[in-house]
């Protein structure tokens, strides 16, 4: 087990979960659809719980957390607001969330492959984040 690999994967999980929470927060107030709001709230709660676990794992190992980059935050916020300005629909929200989840799954999958010497707990955590993203994608499909 490589300490650097474990740190890398946990930090990417941390940044990914924070990005997901930020994106959910950005779109949740832009719909009146109770079912969509409930699905977003459920996923947000799951992401917050994962984030807390990741933060604990980082602390236990003496690692620093990782925030999403400012560029990433601005690009996400800009894309969300632009898309919803052009087409303020539940379908647009669902598409944005699915696109974000796809990016998260891809990025974390790359990190799992990039950091093969990570501790098994870090790998399992990354896989749980990926599963949570896939579940959010599945929940969003009904709103397309």
Burial class (CB in 10 A: 0-12, 13-18, 19+), 87: exposed
CA distances (Å), 129 to each of 67, 73, 92, 110, 117, in order? 16, 19, 23, 13, 19
Tabulate helix, strand, coil % of the chain (nearest 5).
Answer: 80, 0, 20
Tell me the HSE value of 48 on the side-chain side, using a 13 A CA sphere: 9
Question: How many structural domains compose the chain?
Answer: 1
Domain holding 134, by residue range, is: 3-141
In this prediction, residue 19 carries a pLDDT of: 96
In this prediction, residue 127 carries a pLDDT of: 95
In this prediction, residue 2 carries a pLDDT of: 85
Phi, psi angle pair for 118, to nearest 5°: -65, 155
> Do the Cβ atoms of 23 and 137 come closer than 8 Å?
no
- CATH number of the domain residue 12 falls in: 1.20.1260.10
In this prediction, residue 9 carries a pLDDT of: 94
In this prediction, residue 136 carries a pLDDT of: 98
In this prediction, residue 116 carries a pLDDT of: 81
Spell out the per-residue pLDDT of the chain, length 144, in tens. 788 889 999 999 999 999 999 999 999 999 999 999 999 999 999 999 999 999 999 999 999 999 999 998 898 999 999 999 999 999 999 999 999 999 999 999 999 998 888 888 999 999 999 999 999 999 999 999
């Amino acid at each position: 087990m490589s300490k650097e690999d474990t740190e890398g994967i946990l930090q990417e999980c941390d940044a990914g979960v924070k990005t997901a929470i930020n994106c959910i927060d950005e779109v949740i107030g832009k719909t009146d659809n109770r079912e969509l709001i409930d699905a977003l709230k459920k996923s947000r709660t799951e992401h917050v719980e994962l984030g807390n676990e990741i933060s604990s794992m980082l602390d236990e190992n003496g690692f620093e957390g990782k925030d999403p980059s400012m560029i990433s935050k601005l690009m996400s916020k800009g894309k969300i607001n632009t898309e919803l300005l052009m087409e303020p629909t539940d379908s647009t929200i669902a598409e944005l969330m699915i696109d974000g989840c796809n990016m998260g799954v891809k990025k974390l999958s790359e990190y799992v492959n990039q950091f093969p010497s990570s501790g098994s707990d870090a790998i399992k955590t990354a896989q749980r984040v990926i599963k949570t993203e896939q579940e959010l994608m599945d929940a969003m499909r009904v709103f397309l």
